[in-house]
Structures are given as C-alpha cells and as structure tokens.
Amino acid sequence: MVFPRYDLHCHSTASDGALAPEALLSRALDCGIEVLALTDHDSVSGTRELLAQQVDDDTIRIITGTELSCLWNGRMVHIVGLGVDITDSALQSYLAEIDDLRQQRARRISERLVKQGLPDIWQEAQKLAAGGSIGRPHFARALVAAGAVKNENQVFKRYLGTGKPADVKMQWPEMSAAINVIRDSGGIAVLAHPTKYDMTFTKLRLLMSAFAEQGGQAIEVSYPGVSPDHRRELEKYASENGLMVSAGSDFHSPSYNWTELGRYPAVRSESNHVLIPLLGLAASE
C-alpha cells in the first residue's frame, strides 16, 4: 500500500492558528499534503469552511476534525476527533457549552493580567480570536502586540502557563465525555501528543489505559518534538493495546518556524494507522 502524505492535526483562525482555513488549505497543497484534518480547539467551524471549498478528492482529501480540551484526573489533556459528523446536534451543543466557558475564562484571564500590572487587553484578545475559540494564545499575542511582554513564550512563562497567576483553571469536561461525543458523532477519538503533558511514562501509561478503557481508539505517535525513544514506546504501546496510531504537525502559524504542515517523523507501523478506516483503505498486513 502506498501511504498518502497526510497531516491529521493543525489549527486555523477558528481557534488559535494564524491562517484562515482557506489559507491553510493552500499551504497544505503547497506542502504536498494529500489528506488533511483541521483540528481546531473545541471548534469545527474551520473544518466546515474547508468542506465548503469543494476541492477535488484526488488533489486533497479533507477529513473533519477538532481537538477537545478535557480533564483526566484533574489534568488537562487534548483529544482529537477525526471524521466527526460536524452537523451532529450533540456535538454542536457540546462545543457551544465550551465556547461559553472559554468566554467566561477569557474575562477572568484579562482581570488577572490587569492585577499583574499589565494593560487591559480584553478587546484586543477578542479581536484576535475573531469569533473563534478564544484561548490563552490570543492573550499572549495581544500582550506582545501591546509591547507589554517581549514574546509569546515569555507571556506563558510568566503569566499564562500552568500554575502562573493568569492561568485560570477551567472546568473542562471529563475525558470520557470528550471521547463519547466524538464517537457518538461518528468520529475516531485520538489522544493528542501524549508526551506533551509533562507526565512520567508510568503516569502516561495510566492515562493511555484509561483512555482505551473509556473507548479511546487511537494515539498520536508522531509530532514535532517527540523523541525517537518515545515514538517507539508509543508505537509499541499502541500495537500491544489494540489502539490505532495517528500523526500530525500541530501546525499553528508560519511564524513558528519549528513546525510545518506534514513535517514530523514518519510513522513506522502503518497496519494499525487511523487513515485505514478514515479513508477506507485495505490494511497491508
């Protein structure tokens, strides 16, 4: 089987990405991507715009997607949903509720930043979010644009990162709810970037087994920043535990020059790849 060039994790202006869905699509075409899933945080509006583009399936296949923020044991984890039905009413009301929570959190983030002696950038952050899922990166960008902090990384380090003064805890849905809403809308639930949660591998195994027990179907095994050792561990874990594998760049912006669409280490185990059911391919082994 000849595997297509693909990217199953990226962001647009529908959440905290820099490119509009249309611009993202044309970048994907330039990068030679043949299968693309746009997975905006807690939103399917970018994916809806991509579907409306009516691109020829032979040029690029669009897979619907989203990346849901949720809690496992009180810690935030991200579950990507691939191939969801974006018209599903349960999915839509789930996303509408999170949008409300994000708006409430955004209000509190801006208050906390002001308490830290920073300018009130509520309006600017809203403008940057432009009606999409508002998140911490919009505040980081607004503070940099206002000249209050040198760069986005510094904003996270000092104010917005985990445990920092403007990191407003949000009561995200439980991981099981995220998995269920993805599966009930016909999608495949994928644990995103497992090694990016600041967990030991022992803890991570507990997360992955809870994820599988709750109906999770695949884990990302390749993405920028994953070490070769971890990549092998994740592939091994997936094949031993009946999980499929997925991969994606988590691309957010052309100015983040450490990521590009389709650029991440090759996945070795293709026989349990999530693209097989998504594209209706025949498994090779």
By CB under 6 A, the residues from 145 to 164 that bind ligand AMP are 152-153, 156, 161
Beta strands 6-7; 35-37: pairing state: parallel
By CB under 6 A, the residues from 6 to 25 that bind ligand AMP are 16
Grouping H, G, I as helix, E, B as strand and the rest as coil, residue 174 is: strand
**Residue labelled with tokens 């619907």:** 64
Task: Pick the binder of ligand AMP from 69, 185, 217, 249 (CB under 6 A).
Answer: 69
Which chain residues interact with Mn ion by CB under 5 A? 16, 67, 78, 192, 250
One-letter amino acid at 135 equals G
CA pseudo-torsion sign 112, 78, 87, 12: positive
For ligand AMP, the closer CB: 60 or 192: 192
Dist CA 239 CA 69 (whole Å) = 25
By CB under 6 A, the residues from 243 to 282 that bind ligand AMP are 252
By CB under 6 A, the residues from 24 to 43 that bind ligand AMP are 41
| Least spacing, CB of residue 132 vs ligand AMP, in Å | 11
| Least spacing, CB of residue 177 vs Mn ion, in Å | 17
**Residue with the closest Cβ to Mn ion?**
78
Dist CA 132 CA 95 (whole Å) = 11
Contact status: 112 vs ligand AMP (CB under 6 A): no
109: its two tokens: 């983030």
User: What DSSP state is assigned to residue 156?
Assistant: I
Binding-site ranges for ligand AMP (CB under 6 A): 16, 41, 69, 135-137, 152-153, 156, 161, 252
